[in-house]
Amino acid sequence: MNLPIDGRMLLTPVEMQKRLGEKAKTLRLFFGYKRVTLSEKSGVSAATIRNFEQTGKINLENFLRLVFVLNQERKLDDLFELPEIASVKEIEQRKQPSRKRGRR
């Protein structure tokens, strides 16, 4: 189910997987690579690449191998960043040593 967030539609995890697979295929074709070529460059089997492009299913290690061969690694650097500071309280919280465990 898509949920509206800030005027955008938020995808479900399954929809996002499929979308990433489709985008990877588009980028592979943009670079002019056959699946076999991408397989040779990444070490990921052509069958795994085909499955990823069609279903979005792939393990993290193989996904990252494709990301690096397709020159998309810089885009991953923004994942899991702390949110922008919105208050003085948040500034004070960030000055404290970072937690090693969650509270709940």
Distance set, CA 82 to CA 15, 16, 24, 25, 102 (Å): 25, 22, 27, 30, 15
Structure tokens at 35: 């699946």
| Residue found under tokens 């052509």 | 46
The pTM for the full model equals: 0.75
pLDDT confidence tier of residue 81, bands split at 50, 70 and 90: confident
The dotted CATH code for 3-95 is: 1.10.260.40
Residue 82 CB-density burial (10 A; 0-12 exposed, 13-18 middle, 19+ buried): exposed
Residue of higher predicted confidence among 36 and 1: 36
Whether 62 contacts 21, CB under 8 Å: no
Query: pLDDT tens for residues 43-76?
Result: 999 999 999 999 999 999 999 999 999 999 999 9
- Rounded mean pLDDT of the chain? 88
> What local confidence, expressed as pLDDT, does residue 43 receive?
98
